[in-house]
Structure 1
Amino acid sequence: MKKLTSALILLLIILVVGGLGLRHLAQSQMESAIADLRAAIGPGASFTYATAAPRILARGARLTAVTYRNPALSLTASEAIVGRVTGNTIDGQHIGTLTLRQVQIMEPGATASVASLVLKGLVLPNTGPDLFRAPTPPRLDSLTLDSAQLTDLHVAVPAGQTDLTVAHATIRDYGLGRTSHLDVDTLAVQIRLTPTRRIGIGHLRIDGPDFAGQIASLLQSGHLIHTVGRRRFDVSALTIDTASPLLRVGHLEAEQEASASQDELETTITDLTAWPTPPQDQSLLRVIGYDHFAGRIHAVSTIQRQAGTMTLHPLDIDAPEMGHMTILADLDQIPVDDPANMPETARIVSATIDWQDRSLAGHVLDGLARARQVDAEPYRQQVQAALATSPDPSMQALGHFLAQPDQRLRVMLRPPRPISVLMLGVALSMAGDPSTAGMLGLSISTP
């Protein structure tokens, strides 16, 4: 028994002495690492903290009241916890975990705050001792990250009078060439420029893009690069408001399959409600007697990148209060790498539009009668009579449809030369003119 007690006491002494030795070594290594960091950031920047304690088993440290400043940026955190640090500024820094709490970031023109930021599997680029010195700290596209989680993000841009908040966000597998994933809960943007805009998203999920590669492309060329692979976008509870509601989307889901030669995209929007933008009394919806649009949209499209063409097969719009539209179309002059410009450049090569009416036809006729300040019923009969006696079979079919709008109406466009999408609405409003109908290659039937 005495031998066992002596052995236990000896073991305890070894552990205490060894622990003190390890702590002293860890303290020395931590201080050396901090000194290396201060040397690496150069004379134009500073790194300070209130207290620092090594984390022996975690191979890291815990620092309080951390501050980093350079001429373009100021960052503070109430606490920084670092674990599993390997490598160095010469061979590349690997940080197993980095937790920052109560973070404040300030730079010219913008400020940001984060309640908590947890980074795992962070790898800083291997650029030698000048990593933080010249010309700037490492760019976002040069980092590698297994995962990052943040809570209570707030970004303010005073010049643009814009505020952004995020309750919670997670990004996984970030880095050049990696398939990344993003999850965002409760995102809100407020733009206080006149007119004020408020944008909200209940949940956003993006799977598939190489975020680091896209950021690198934007920084280098100002444009997103085309990448192959499958991507999925999922948005719930989207809202856009001004002084009054503008848009509500219950759920938006889009899946893209991209190859070097073509992109295939399927998009579904459900529980869609849209109100006219101010001044509402001048909107087309109000003119034809609707307060808002409510419905569902489903679109399947294929883009041939080299030819710059798009096929809709189909675009389906179902509005229970108005009607149901199905569009099959071929378009050209598609800006494959700049889709925001598509409305200005795209042209219709051919299109087939099927319409099943619920109330739209009657609303249009009533709106036209109000615009002419005449009674609706006499005007309706006048229009139907004029169409019935037209020598054009298409106009006769349109008159037959207006008399019995419960049947399906088919509009076919086969223009001799492609027509701009922007000009289509104007051209259709003049479809009764034979020259316009010929330019559109227009034919109307009630199949």
Structure 2
Amino acid sequence: MVRRESEQADSLFDTPAEEAQQANAPLAVRMRPRGLDEVVGQEHLLGPGTPLRQLVERDVAMSLVLWGPPGTGKTTLAYVVSQATERRFVEISAVSDGVKQVRAAIDVAKRELGMGGRQTVLFVDEVHRFNKAQQDALLPAVENRWVSFIGATTENPFFSVISPLLSRSLLLTLQPLGDDQLREVIRRALTDERGLGGAAELAKPAEDHLVRLAGGDARRALTYLEAASYVAPNGAPIDVDVLEKAVDRAAVRYDREGDQHYDVISAFIKSIRGSDVDAALHYLARMIEAGEDPRFIARRLIVHASEDIGMADPTALQTATAAAHAVEFVGLPEARINLAQAVIHLSLAPKSNAVIRAINEAGGDVRRGLVGPVPPHLRDAHYKGADKLDHGKGYRYAHDFPGGVVEQQYAPDAVAGREYYHPTRHGMEARFSDVVERLRAVLRGRRAD
């Protein structure tokens, strides 16, 4: 797609055919921002003094890699950059195009640059789908600045974009839109002449449901809104029933800032704690379908892995943490599988709250003032003059003794002999229960071996 060169002031389009084509375009395309100031969200990239705004305002040659989830504005930013800098805009899709199309676009860009000095923005959507050879074909144009390359990817560019191309480009990370930002996009589409032009009205509960369904994806929000506008009876507002019919998704009663949010997450954690895997999966699905932030769910799983399982199954924390990483790297909807695996693991794992009880008891003693000075033999003895203060004197180096354990006081006098960790006999913690008893016996001189 090559952006028009006309400078007519009376029309946004070159021809009546182009105007008709735009009128029939999807709502998400019609509502694409025409300038940086119309872009919703991504303030960290578009604020005053940011690299992207400076590059646009100074109209310098640039190469960018835009990384973010679907519907966050990657294509929009590429188009707006070309508009704001008065450059030709050529779009190539890595899904359907190949090296032939890339080279043809570069050849035209070189001619334009050589004949009239006009630069070209070459936008490659889904650039991660190009193999190494295809990405290599972009390098000469990027290196010689025959084009301003902008690549869009939903995959981690450090794994999916070749290093030479990435090192010659400015990497910008886009974030999912927040609820308020999605509402702004939706309300603008309802009233703007390019959108629905006031021909449709969206009820507040339906707007809430639409925001949840969108999940931070502006394109999805506008696609669902457009579908609902076709289903709604003439003159009738779009309510939840209409929206459900349009997108075939039932509204889940769930307020991310109200009672439902807290009630469901509470039931979710208590179901895992109670080892009811089926109930836990139900609440997980309920939160996901309602548009709950998957990072919030992942954080709760990480906490639960230590709070209610702990040393009874030390691998539970690893599984929960891996699921959280998967949420960041993969995103929904696929990451729901990783979250489900973690929920199943945690639900079926043996339970112990010994870890949280241990840190709570230790913290309670500290708050009550049971601290005391560090024993002299444990203090830092690496600086000059420490020996004069008897720092480190009498310290017994554990590795010099059988088993790497020796009788010695480590805690301050105020809490010497206090025991915070009381392991259960559940799962692997039964083994640690035996270990901690043997260690305490040696440390406190109750046995010689």
Tell whether the structures are fold-level matches, with TM greater than 0.5. no
TM-score normalised to structure 1 length? 0.21
Return the structure number with greater strand share. 1
Structure (1 or 2) with the larger CA radius of gyration: 1
